[in-house]
C-alpha cells in the first residue's frame, strides 16, 4: 500500500487598481477605518455598480500569461453570504462564465524538471471588508477593503507534494508582480492561498481517496508548505 497526496490550489490576488471593482472609492492600504467607502461598496439601496475597466484588463493579461482560453462573453453573478463584513449580503463574482479557462502554468520542481499545473479557471470578484477582533467582548468592522478587485485563480489537483505547492506559490507571485497586475505583497493581504488537499490510498485492489480538506487564507509561502 502507498499514499499519494493530491493538491489543488485556489489563489486570490488583489489587483493593483487605483479604485475599487465597482465604484470610484480609492484602494489604499492602512487608511483610516471606513474612510474609503461609498453607497456602492456599503450596499445601500439604489446604488448601482460600474465595472472597473482596468481590473478586467489585468484579469485578461493574467489569464493570457497562464495560457488560458479567453471568454468571448462573460457575466457577473451574486454569491450569497451572510457575513458582517459584507454589507450587501452577497458578493459580486463570476460563476459559469469566467474570463479564462483551460490554462497551464509550468512550475520548476526540486529535481529540476518542470511540472505542468492545469488552470481550471480565472475570474474576477470583489473582496469583503475586514473584521477586527479587539478582546473577547466585541468586534469592529472596517469596510475600506469591501469592493476591492480580486482575481481568483483555480488549479486542477496537479500538485503532488508540499514542495510542489511551495514552488507553485513562489512562481505565481513572481508572475503577478512581473505582469504588473498586483504588488502581490502577502504581508498586506494582497495574495492569499487556499490549498485543497486529499490523499489517494493505493493498494492492490485499486485506489481510495479521502475527502478534500480546504485550508483557507494562507498568506505566506511557509504556511503553504506547512499546511
CB 177 within 8 A of CB 198: no
Phi, psi torsion values for 77, nearest 5 degrees: -135, 155
Does 83 or 190 have the greater pLDDT score? 190
DSSP 23: S
The alpha helices in 29-86, defined as continuous H runs, are 53-65
Number of other CB atoms surrounding residue 76 within 10 Å: 16
Q: What is the pLDDT of residue 207?
A: 83
CB atoms within 10 A of CB 35: 12
Spatial separation of the C-alpha atoms in residues 37 and 220, rounded to whole Å: 28
Mean pLDDT of all residues belonging to the chain: 94
| Residue 152 reports pLDDT greater than 90 | yes
pLDDT digits (tens, 9 = 90+) for 100-123: 999 999 999 887 889 999 999 999
pLDDT reported for residue 113: 86
Residue whose C-alpha cell reads 462564465 in the numeric block: 97
How many distinct structural domains can be found in the chain? 1
Could you report the per-residue pLDDT of 120-147, keeping only the tens digit for each?
Answer: 999 999 999 998 887 768 889 999 999 9
DSSP state of 63: H
Phi, psi angles (nearest 5°) of residue 66: -95, 15
Q: Work out the average pLDDT over 79-99.
A: 93
pLDDT bin (cut points 50, 70, 90) of residue 209 is confident
* Contact between 16 and 181 (Cβ < 8 Å): yes
Containing domain of residue 58, as a range?
2-226
Comparing 125 with 4, which gets the higher pLDDT?
125
pLDDT at 129: 94
- Residue 180 φ/ψ region, left for φ over 0, alpha for ψ in the -120 to 50 degree band, beta for the rest: left
CA distances from 209 to 6, 177, 206 (A): 9, 36, 10
168, 159 Cβ separation under 8 angstroms: yes
- Percent of the chain past pLDDT 90, that is, above it, reads 80
pLDDT at position 110: 80
- φ, ψ of residue 222 to 5 degrees: the values are -60, -40
Q: Which residue has the cell 479567453?
A: 70
pLDDT at 22: 97
- The least confident of 52-61, 86-95, 172-181, 200-209 is 200-209
* Long-range contacts of the stretch 170-174 (C-beta < 8 A, 24+): 170/221, 171/105, 171/107, 171/108, 172/11, 172/105
Amino acid at each position: 500500500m502507498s499514499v499519494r497526496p493530491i493538491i489543488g490550489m485556489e489563489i486570490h490576488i488583489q489587483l493593483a487598481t487605483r479604485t475599487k471593482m465597482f465604484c470610484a472609492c480609492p484602494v489604499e492600504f492602512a487608511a483610516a477605518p471606513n474612510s474609503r467607502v461609498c453607497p456602492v461598496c456599503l450596499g445601500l439601496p439604489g446604488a448601482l455598480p460600474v465595472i472597473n475597466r482596468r481590473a478586467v484588463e489585468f484579469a485578461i493579461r493574467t489569464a493570457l500569461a497562464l495560457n488560458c482560453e479567453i471568454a468571448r462573453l462573460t457575466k457577473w453573478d451574486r454569491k450569497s453570504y451572510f457575513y458582517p463584513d459584507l454589507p450587501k449580503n452577497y458578493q459580486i463574482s463570476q460563476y459559469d462564465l469566467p474570463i479564462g479557462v483551460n490554462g497551464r502554468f509550468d512550475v520548476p520542481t526540486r529535481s529540476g524538471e518542470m511540472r505542468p499545473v492545469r488552470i481550471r479557471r480565472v475570474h474576477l470578484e470583489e473582496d469583503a471588508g475586514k473584521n477586527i477582533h479587539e478582546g473577547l467582548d466585541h468586534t469592529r468592522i472596517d469596510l475600506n477593503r469591501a469592493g476591492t478587485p480580486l482575481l481568483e485563480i483555480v488549479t486542477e489537483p496537479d500538485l503532488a507534494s508540499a514542495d510542489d505547492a511551495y514552488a507553485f506559490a513562489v512562481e505565481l507571485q513572481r508572475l503577478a508582480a512581473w505582469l504588473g497586475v498586483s504588488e502581490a505583497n502577502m504581508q498586506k493581504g494582497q495574495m492569499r492561498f487556499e490549498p485543497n488537499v486529499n490523499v489517494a490510498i493505493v493498494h492492490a485492489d485499486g485506489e481510495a481517496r479521502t475527502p478534500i480538506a480546504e485550508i483557507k487564507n494562507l498568506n505566506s509561502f511557509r504556511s503553504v508548505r506547512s499546511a
